[in-house]
Chain A
Amino acid sequence: MTDSQLIREIKEGNLELYSELMSRYQRKILAFVYHMLKSSNMELLAEDLCSETFYKAFRSLHSFREVDASFSTWLYTIARNTVLSELRKQRSGSVPLEESGIVPIAPSENAPEYAVLRSERVMLVRDAINNLPEKQRSAIILREYDQLDYQEIANILGQSVSSVKSLLFRARSSVKTQLEPYFFEPVYEPYEGMKNR
Chain B
Amino acid sequence: MNCNEAQELFALVWDLPEAHPQRIAFHAHLADCEDCSQQFEVWEEAQILLHSIPVPVTEQQAERVNRNVMDRIYAESPWLLPEEAKVNRFSAVIRKHMSLWIAAFLAIFLCSFLYMAMFKPDVTEAEQTSVVSTGILETGVAGSEPTSSGLYKYNMTGADRGSIIEPFVVSMGPAYPQYWMALSLLAIGMALFSLGRMHRSTNKRKQGARA
Residues of A within 8 A of B (CB): 1, 5-6, 9, 13-20, 22-23, 26-27, 30-31, 34, 43, 46-47, 50-51, 54-55, 58, 118, 121-122, 124-126, 128-129, 140, 143-145, 150, 165, 168-169, 172-173, 175-176, 179-180, 183-184, 187, 191, 193-194, 197
Bound Cα distance A26, B66 (Å):
7
The contact sample of 17 A-B pairs, CB cut-off 8 A, is A6-B211, A14-B205, A15-B80, A16-B70, A16-B82, A17-B208, A19-B69, A26-B66, A31-B55, A47-B64, A144-B50, A150-B15, A168-B11, A172-B10, A175-B46, A179-B46, A194-B41
Do A18 and B43 touch (CB < 8 A)?
no
What 9 pairs across the A-B complex have the smallest Cβ distances? A1-B211, A172-B11, A16-B82, A26-B62, A125-B49, A169-B11, A51-B68, A54-B69, A193-B48
Docked complex Cα distance between A175 and B211 (Å): 42
Q: A18-B73, A144-B50 are in contact. Are A13 and B56 (CB under 8 A)?
A: no
Contact of A121 among B49, B73, B208, B209 (CB under 8 A): B49
Q: B40-79 vs A: 1/0 string, CB under 8 Å?
A: 0111111111111101110101111110111011100100
In the bound complex, do residue A125 and residue B53 qualify as a contact, i.e. CB atoms below 8 Å apart? yes
Q: How far is the CB of B142 from chain A (nearest CB, A)?
A: 59
The one of A5, A14, A118, A169 that contacts B12, using a Cβ cutoff of 8 Å = A169
Task: Report the separation of the CA atoms of residues A129 and B74 in the bound assembly, to the nearest whole angstrom.
Answer: 38
| B145 contacts the other chain (CB 8 A) | no
Query: Are A30 and B69 touching (Cβ within 8 A)?
Result: no
Residues in B with CB closer than 8 Å to A122 are 49, 52-53
In the assembled complex, how far is the CB of residue A103 from the closest CB belonging to chain B, in whole angstroms? 17
Partner of A31, one of B56, B74, B208: B56
Given contacts A6-B211, A169-B12, contact A30 B44 (CB under 8 A): no
Q: Which residues of A contact B69 (CB under 8 A)?
A: 18-19, 22, 51, 54-55, 58
Cα-based distance from A5 to B210 in the complex (angstroms):
13
Q: Closest CB of chain B to A196's CB: distance in Å?
A: 10
Distance of B38 from chain A, by nearest CB (Å): 9
B73, B208, B209: the one within 8 Å of A58 (CB): B73
- Contacting A at CB under 8 A, from B137-191, are none
A58 contact set on B, CB distance < 8 A: 69, 73
What residues on A are CB-neighbors of B47 within 8 Å?
A: 144, 172
| Inter-chain contacts of B80 with A (CB < 8 A) | 13, 15
Contact A22 B65, CB 8 Å, known A16-B82, A121-B49, A179-B46: yes
Cα A128 to Cα B11 with chains together (Å): 15
Residue in B10, B45, B55, B66 whose CB lies within 8 Å of A23: B66
